[in-house]
Amino acid sequence: MGLAPVAWRIFEGQLRHAPGDPAWPNRDRFVLSAGHASALLYALLHLTGYDLPLEALKQFRQWGSITPGHPELGVTAGVEVTTGPLGQGLADAVGMALAERMLAAQFNRPGHEVIDHHTWVICSDGDLMEGISHEAGSLAGFLALERLVVVYDDNNISLDGPTSMSFGDDATGRFTAYGWRVLEIHDGNDLDEINRVLDNARASDGRPTMVRCHTHIGFGAPGVQDTNKAHGAPLGEEQVRLAKKAYGWPEDAQFLVPDEVAAWAGELRTRGAGYVAEWETAMDGYAADFPAQAAELRRRLVGDLPAGWDQHLPEFPAGESLATRVSSGQSLNGLAAGIPELVGGAADLASSTNTTIKDGGDVTPGSYSGRNLHFGVREFGMAAALNGMAAHGGFRVFGATFMTFSDYMKNAIRMASLMHLPVIFVFTHDSVAVGEDGPTHEPVEQLAALRAIPGLVTLRPADARETAAAWRQAIARTDGPTVLVFTRQALPTMDLDPPVDKGGYVVAPGDDVALIATGSEVSLAVEARALLAADGISARVVSIPSWEIFGAQPEAYRDEVLPPAILARVGVEAASPFGWERWTGTYGRIVAIDRFGESAPGALVMEKLGMTATAVADAARASIAKAARR
């Protein structure tokens, strides 16, 4: 209610959008980072002519409705990203604004500004309290993302009460220090002042812009205005009546849209259709002068991969020992040669994670034609910005850091999965074999936590060949995010053509016991198989680089890889044992790590924590004995 005037002026007077064509590529993006104000967004989408009928507003927050409690991408026409976890909408918008500048730098030509749009955001006090807002604000200011406009709803109220209880930041000084321009709307109900300031905000001076807008939460409802009672709870019949009275609105009207307002919505749809027609005409002129670039731009905006996109993936000779982070870097560069829209970077760890695209150029302030992004030590902000870039379209994106720091990014990874965005998260230094850096940098529980996220595919390859195949799988996936997990230590390359697209497969045959492993522990299982063979025990080695993909295979294939008749099984992974019972069954054993690591050479840490071929062989014998006693 307090935001309604400025939000209306954004939608009606500033956004170049097409309510009849919500996917128009050159539209201005709008992000409601303060996702708890979703009812406002739904009202705006309905009033401005999107496919959101009044009946849908009546089903607000009900099962199966298209008006959920927080805006969700893919559920409601006109919603650009899923928001609600505060701060992430702002960071998503930074990614969107960055994608716009990068596409413009790569494709625009003099006289042909075919990529030319803004990203608008409404954020709250809560958004600015979240730490991710500092990461996002700092990055946007550094990169001079001049097409980004953030309207800060400064109403001095959060859910628990006045913001003065916990929040006293000088937001103007803070964002000015980040390199933003800060404007101010002193009265959030003064439409003329709103128009003047928003017009100024759109005319950028080379910096992103924050508009600090002073509003009254629950405006017009005398019992709750300017209190936290207006934050989330229903007003109640009496406060609704009094608010309507204060507005001069019919007190008995419900879901009323006056005819003249409905007519205005039709005009906005017509205006939006005009924007689309103008752009298509501009694209025709662009195609006449630059046919190859126009065809490439349209391909990228649709999201199709180029023909032969994986033909440059490297081939790795059997027997060669490489850390999978090294073979990952080589695979990434092979793919980058065939996929020009593949861009990304790291949280100040590109040299350690091997995620630099060679000869790709860097994205720097005011220069956006490169392919390498430098996110700084901003893991959470990086992940959310990648989500925004993926939602914007035109790029396939990746971001990298050490596996243990995936915890900083977890909610953004979850949001990528919730939005079905094809973001690739690259995590290296994947186990206690990291060694000398010690337990702070040695992941243990992270694999289990990532595997628990619905819709996320996690791939932990065992060698260079599995690594190349894992990258191919990640690129081919378009309906959700993928996590790629790589080692610091070298691993032997197996003489196999691994079917990673199946999620799991037989590395070596055997009938007495199944040794099931992922990543670096597959080679450990192979060593254990040789020890068992000396005792006349036939051990099958199975690699499951992706639990999710393997679990989704037909039962017949899974039984082929892990025959039900083989009751003796050992799960092997240098990480938490959580979840491994799924594969080891009733009689199985698990060789894993259920404690934090130590600072010492990686091989010694693995040995001391029981990750040895001997330990695997002993577990196999114990499982065989248990199965025999059934």
How far is CA 554 from its chain centroid? 29
Total count of residues recorded for the chain: 630
Query: 427, 483, 432, 462: which is closest to 323 by C-alpha?
Result: 462
Tell me the one-letter amino acid at 424: I
In what helix (H) or strand (E) does residue 169 lie, and over which residues does it extend? none
Q: How many CB atoms lie within 10 A of CB 61?
A: 11
Indicate which residue of 72, 135, 379, 466 is catalytic: 379
Query: 577, 542, 586, 587: which is closest to 562 by C-alpha?
Result: 542
E-state strands within 81-233: 119-124, 148-154, 157-158, 161-162, 181-185, 209-214
Q: Does residue 294 contact residue 462 with C-beta atoms inside 8 Å?
A: no
- The Cα–Cα gap between 66 and 51 comes to 10
In the residue annotation, 130 being an active-site residue is answered as no
- The Cα–Cα gap between 214 and 216 comes to 7
- The Cα–Cα gap between 220 and 234 comes to 14
Q: Does residue 371 contact residue 336 with C-beta atoms inside 8 Å?
A: yes
Q: Can you spell out the DSSP letters for 490-550?
A: EEEPPSS---GGGS-EEEE--SSEEEEE-TTHHHHHHHHHHHHHTTT--EEEEE-S-HHHH
Instruction: Count CA within 13 A, CB hemisphere, residue 444.
Output: 18
The alpha helices in 423-463, defined as continuous H runs, are 446-451
Instruction: Count CA within 13 A, CB hemisphere, residue 416.
Output: 34
Phi, psi (degrees; rounded to nearest 5) at 390: -65, -40
- The Cα–Cα gap between 312 and 309 comes to 8
- Buried-state track 100-130, b at ≥16 Cβ within 10 A, e below 16: bbbbbebbbeeebebbbbbbbbbbbbbbbbb
Burial class (CB in 10 A: 0-12, 13-18, 19+), 159: exposed
Burial class (CB in 10 A: 0-12, 13-18, 19+), 226: middle
8-state DSSP, 124: E
Which residues form the catalytic set?
379
